[in-house]
Amino acid sequence: QVQLVESGGGVVQPGMSLRLSCAASGFTFSSYAMHWVRQAPGKGLEWVAVISYDGSNKYYADSVKGRFAISRDTSKNTLYLQMNSLRAEDTAVYYCASVPTTAAPDWGQGTLVTVSS
């Protein structure tokens, strides 16, 4: 079955960087666009970024544009989110997700990022 396992979260100071990973299995990773979605404590779900199936197209929420970079390594079936210039408001649980248009989405369990001095 589909498995998405995020890792790389932790506590970082404002202005620092962090890279999240999402290991995918149980489906043809190279055929699907992949997303990062986050949820700040006590808040709703916020889409962060998407990368096309082949990595050729990437789009970002305005709140992270210019600071975050999404990428994928098909040889490792892994999705990444490079987060630079982190701010307190980036504190959230980060989920990776596959959200096909006409099929059931799949989500990971999430990894917590805390930005605090």
Partner 1 sequence: DIQMTQSPSSLSASVGDRVTITCRASQGIDRFLNWYQQKPGKPPKLLIYTTSTLQSGVPSRFSGSGSGTDFTLTISSLQVEDFATYYCQQSYSSLISFGHGTKVDIK
Q: How far is the CB of 30 from partner 1 (least distance, A)?
A: 17
For residue 37, the surrounding DSSP H or E stretch is strand 34-39
Work out whether 66 is an interface residue with partner 1 (CB under 8 A).
no
Work out whether 44 is an interface residue with partner 1 (CB under 8 A).
yes
Range in contact with partner 1 (rule: CB under 8 A) among 18-26, 69-77, 83-91, 99-107: 99-107
Structure-token match 């396992």, residue found: 5
Work out whether 103 is an interface residue with partner 1 (CB under 8 A).
yes
Give the closest residue to 47 by CA, choosing from 29, 63, 32, 31.
63
Residues 6+ apart with CB under 8 A from 105: 97, 98, 99
Work out whether 107 is an interface residue with partner 1 (CB under 8 A).
yes
Closest CB to partner 1 among residues 17, 52: 52
SS3 88: helix
> Which positions lie near partner 1, rule CB under 8 A?
33, 35, 37, 44-47, 50, 52, 57, 59, 93, 95, 99-105, 107-110
